[in-house]
Structure 1
Amino acid sequence: MTCLRLVSPARKTAHALARALCVTAVAALPLHGAAAQSGSPQKNPSTIQDTEIEALMRDYTRPILKAAGLAQQNVEVVLIADRSFNAFVADGKRIFVNTGALMDSKTPNQIIGVLAHETGHIAGGHLARMRQQVEGMQTMAIVAMLLAGAGVAAGAAAGAGRDMGSIAAAGVTAPQEMLRRSLLTYQRGEEQAADRSAVSYLNATQQSARGMIETFQRFQDDQLFISQRVDPYLLSHPMARERIAALETLAKASPYFNAKDSPALQERHDMMRAKLVGFMERPDAVARKYPLSDTSLPAQYARAISAYRYGSVNGAISQIDALIARQPNNPYFYELKGQALLESARPVESVAPLRKAVAMTNGAPLIRAMLGQALVQSGNPSYNEEALRELILATQRDPNSPGAWRSLAMAYGRKGDVANADLAAAQGYFASGEFQIGREIAARARQRFAPGTPGWLKADDLVNFKPPKSARNNR
């Protein structure tokens, strides 16, 4: 991966009912719930940015979003560094997908089905309606608890005796339990609606819904060990067997049910999976999944990545060069070579492959930022203007990269432009969520710019920026 970034933990709800719903959703092993073997959810899950994988996700979602009428909404796929099979939406702009879902999916169609389901939630406005339902339930819960409390008080006044404590507990919790079941029933209906929408999008794009069925069959296997112990009315999603039965009727009626992914798309999917395994698994796990006897391109890719992360850089470069020999027009092999050299303190050698990767990807911002970093770290004064150009372009397209801003600050500093160096440093701290330090440096930068100039205005904006309450609380 070219970069890892932390996502702020989800804001805690104010009401115990909402917290209970979150727990129930995890227990359900749903389409976007944690797998049983994943353990407790991370408190601070990390996101992964990678040009190659993000390009593949855009190609997967583009036709689906168009079919859903969301082509102009700039919906993006965000990758979560978590090994469980999981996907979800939290707003109308982003679909979150765990790397575990990508690594465990055998075909593009399986992930495309997941993305189509989540698109159904966005297009259907389910998040907004769910918030309305929760708000309404919270009001009803308050009223119900007050009435239950009034009944408890009346019983106490009448001298109900020693069992008053247990009666009080039942009287207060029973209304909440009824409301929770009601809300979960509503949520299960939304899940079924998203399934139906997903099939319609797949039909509109002449793709099969077979991958969705295969995914639900996976969840059905996971649910076997809890199906005898879990009340289905306490789940936020329908049981997998119910979803499979409902989907099979719709899916098999489609003329595209037997449609296959193209060989080229399957190869990109296999390369994506190999890349994730190479970066996220230990060498022994990589060797088990991609033994030396496997001479396929994905296997070579995974082993080359693992070699650079855990072995000799020279040996890794030899393996990467072999990849380049097989596919000389693959920009991500040049990116990998540049990254391996840069992270091995060989920035001068990393410049050439990174320049090639930037040119071949039409200036992908993540790769452009890495090239700028390599140019700065080379210590070659003749590279400074090129570094400034690459880093300015990279931060314009992706302003949330602390490393790119730090490298830009260094490049400005070497040029003697202290005002812009301070401004870039301040933006780097803002990108990493360190708002107080960022404001202090921005205030210093503001003093160096002439009042009213673009640099002064930007620094002034940073000085007066008030971060969201959740960001302040999570610092």
Structure 2
Amino acid sequence: MVRLLMAALLLAPTIPLTIAPVASVAQNLPTLGDTERESLSPLMERKLGEQIMHDIRRDRDYIDDGPVQEYLNNFGLNLVAVRPEVRGEAGYDFFFFMVRDPMLNAFALPGGFIGVHSGLVLASQSESELAGVLSHEIGHVAQRHIARMLGQQKQNSMIQLAAIVLGALAGVSKAGGDAAMATMMGGTGLAIQRQLNFSRDAEREADRIGLQIMRDGGFDPSGMVTFFGRLQTASRSFSDAVPPYLLTHPLTTERIADIEGRIRDQRYRQRVDNPDFHLARARIRVLQNDSVQGLREANEYFSNQLRQNTKQQVMSAKYGLAYVAYRQGNFDKADIYLEEARAAAQPMAPSMMIVSLDIDIKIGKKQAQAALKEADAMRKQFPLSRVLTRQYASALIAARRYDEAVAFLRDQTQLYRQEVQLQDLLAQAYAAQGRQALQHLALAESYALSGSLPAALEQLTIARRAPDATFYDQSLIDARERDWKERWKEEMKESKERG
């Protein structure tokens, strides 16, 4: 039952193609009743979201790329800052992430986690279009649509809800319509209609909130309309597989008409895209299929893009070619292309996307001192960039300045306790020093943060047996082992209850 519910919570707001915004007092949006609020508290929403994220982060299609993740989160958090009240009474820390999927879609999880398909970003032609999608999803979180959905389910079976959601998912997947109908057999017509009505209201609320965020954030609200049009075109491919009554969102034409009516009297405002938007899209195109064949196809795409010969297209194409060459291990070619991308970007201010790739290329070319110098200068210029902070540590390790790397990383792990990459880098630095116990302790912390407690406990066992383990190390190992074993028992107990 719980597994079905988790799937329903993950997918319900997004099938088949979702776009959502944020809450606003000005629109007199409905308030949540006490019964609905009791169904899933804000703290429980966050906990559920974190549990789902543990599984997502372990999936191979989770795009854990520093520059892309940093761009997406900076962009999304700027939208959240336009309407701080969307964080709600629990003060959600929003987190935006990307999954490798060609489908044009995005989804909101409980507790402020918002996922975006790589295909959606590639289909976005401007930051205003992307802002329309993310603003809509922020709206789902702000209006607590999942909590309200569960409140409604006091009259509907959870299994029926899961059947609706999973049936719709199967309808747009490779399994096709037969699997969708088979999955749906457990759902009653009444439950379907209630869920449809609720979802349509939720989508309209999210659209209204998204437009307000776009307007107040300086984006062009018509970007939501143009992207909806693209979604409408894409959805035609699935019209035969998903019966109309299964679509948990209002018809795209209906939503477009509603949005056009709301923006008709607003002044047109042109917004110039951040160049990093186009660089991020080039990088995502490479990450979407990083196989040997995928890299060849990306290389061909960027080569064709150069023929358009506009400054923006040349810049992003050269950057894409540089990243392809880097992923292929051809660092000299990557360096040449990146310099050409940098030249095409002039007189643009230094781009974190370009600087980050430049540092990686220098490390790849064994130019550790040059990489360290650039990383040190750039992290001061971009003090909030976690990517450049981690690259500075990588450059210290590449330059064999292990003591400095350990000291720096120990400070960073105290400041940013949930950052898995820092523990991995710390393990590398300890390994280079030959400090086996501390190396495996750092790896254990990394696995624990990633949600893999059995692997973390295994690393503790290795650390305990290390010849250089001190009395203090053994005490720390004992403490971590007690804590993680208790957590593992609780997880196993919950798993049995679910089964």
TM-score of the two chains, using structure 1 as the length reference: 0.74
| C-alpha contact (below 8 Å) 1:67/1:205 kept by paired residues | no
The reply on whether 1:285 has 2:297 as its aligned counterpart is no
Q: 1:58 aligns with which of 62, 66, 74?
A: 74
What one-letter code is carried by the residue in structure 1 that aligns with 2:222? R
Q: 1:370 aligns with which of 391, 395, 399?
A: 391
Aligned residue number for residue 151 of structure 2 = 132
Distance in 1 (CA, whole Å) between partners of 2:359 and 2:159 is 59
The reply on whether 1:48 has 2:64 as its aligned counterpart is yes
| C-alpha contact (below 8 Å) 1:335/1:353 kept by paired residues | no
Aligned residue number for residue 282 of structure 2 = 274
Number of aligned residue pairs: 417
Deviations for 1:112-147, whole angstroms, at most 9, x for unmatched residues?
1111111111111101111233454117969xxxxx
What one-letter code is carried by the residue in structure 2 that aligns with 1:221? T
Distance in 2 (CA, whole Å) between partners of 1:191 and 1:130 is 13
Distance in 2 (CA, whole Å) between partners of 1:61 and 1:459 is 36
> Quick one: structure 1 residues 24 and 384, their matched pair in 2 at CA, closer, same or farther if it must change by over 3 Å?
closer
| C-alpha contact (below 8 Å) 1:68/1:123 kept by paired residues | no
The residue correspondences of 1:168-247 to structure 2 (distance < 5 A) are: 176-224=188-236, 231-247=243-259
The residue correspondences of 1:63-462 to structure 2 (distance < 5 A) are: 63-67=79-83, 69-70=85-86, 72-134=91-153, 136-138=155-157, 176-224=188-236, 231-253=243-265, 255-256=266-267, 258-261=268-271, 263=272, 265-280=273-288, 282-291=298-307, 293=309, 296-310=314-328, 312-324=330-342, 326=346, 329-343=350-364, 347=368, 350-362=371-383, 364-378=385-399, 380=400, 383-396=401-414, 398-399=416-417, 402=420, 404-415=422-433, 418-442=436-460, 448-450=470-472, 457=479, 460-462=482-484
Instruction: Classify the secondary structure of the residue corresponding to 1:238.
Output: coil
The reply on whether 1:13 has 2:25 as its aligned counterpart is no
> Quick one: structure 1 residues 424 and 451, their matched pair in 2 at CA, closer, same or farther if it must change by over 3 Å?
closer
Distance in 2 (CA, whole Å) between partners of 1:137 and 1:313 is 58
> Quick one: structure 1 residues 423 and 212, their matched pair in 2 at CA, closer, same or farther if it must change by over 3 Å?
same
What one-letter code is carried by the residue in structure 2 that aligns with 1:274? A
Q: Tell me the C-alpha RMSD between the 2 structures.
A: 4.0
Which protein has the larger Cα radius of gyration, Structure 1 or Structure 2?
A: 1
Percent identity reads 21
| Relative contact order higher in (CA < 8 Å, ≥ 6 apart) | 2
List alignment gaps of at least 5 residues for structure 2: 21-55, 162-183, 289-294
Deviates more, 1:85-94 or 1:126-135: 126-135
Deviations for 1:290-322, whole angstroms, at most 9, x for unmatched residues?
448555322221222122223732121122234
Instruction: Classify the secondary structure of the residue corresponding to 1:286.
Output: helix
1:239 to partner: Cα distance: 1.0
1:359 to partner: Cα distance: 3.0
Instruction: Classify the secondary structure of the residue corresponding to 2:64.
Output: strand
| C-alpha contact (below 8 Å) 1:406/1:425 kept by paired residues | yes
1:91 to partner: Cα distance: 1.3
Distance in 1 (CA, whole Å) between partners of 2:222 and 2:242 is 27
The reply on whether 1:31 has 2:25 as its aligned counterpart is no
Q: 1:465 aligns with which of 487, 490, 493?
A: 487
> Quick one: structure 1 residues 416 and 56, their matched pair in 2 at CA, closer, same or farther if it must change by over 3 Å?
closer
What one-letter code is carried by the residue in structure 2 that aligns with 1:360? Q
Deviates more, 1:112-121 or 1:81-90: 81-90
Instruction: Classify the secondary structure of the residue corresponding to 2:63.
Output: strand
Deviations for 1:371-404, whole angstroms, at most 9, x for unmatched residues?
32343344x3xx0122113333444455555554
List alignment gaps of at least 5 residues for structure 1: 1-10, 33-40, 143-171
Distance in 1 (CA, whole Å) between partners of 2:224 and 2:362 is 41
What one-letter code is carried by the residue in structure 1 that aligns with 2:299? P
What one-letter code is carried by the residue in structure 2 that aligns with 1:259? R
Distance in 1 (CA, whole Å) between partners of 2:243 and 2:194 is 14
Distance in 1 (CA, whole Å) between partners of 2:186 and 2:449 is 46
Distance in 2 (CA, whole Å) between partners of 1:97 and 1:429 is 25
Deviations for 1:221-276, whole angstroms, at most 9, x for unmatched residues?
223455588543221111101111111111213x34x1121x3x343322222232
What one-letter code is carried by the residue in structure 1 that aligns with 2:440? D
Instruction: Classify the secondary structure of the residue corresponding to 2:97.
Output: strand
Deviations for 1:331-387, whole angstroms, at most 9, x for unmatched residues?
432321221243466656543333333333216333332332343344x3xx01221
What one-letter code is carried by the residue in structure 1 that aligns with 2:95? E
| C-alpha contact (below 8 Å) 1:89/1:121 kept by paired residues | yes
Deviations for 1:386-438, whole angstroms, at most 9, x for unmatched residues?
21133334444555555542331242355565553332121123244432231
Aligned residue number for residue 147 of structure 1 = none
TM-score of the two chains, using structure 2 as the length reference: 0.71
> Quick one: structure 1 residues 397 and 131, their matched pair in 2 at CA, closer, same or farther if it must change by over 3 Å?
farther
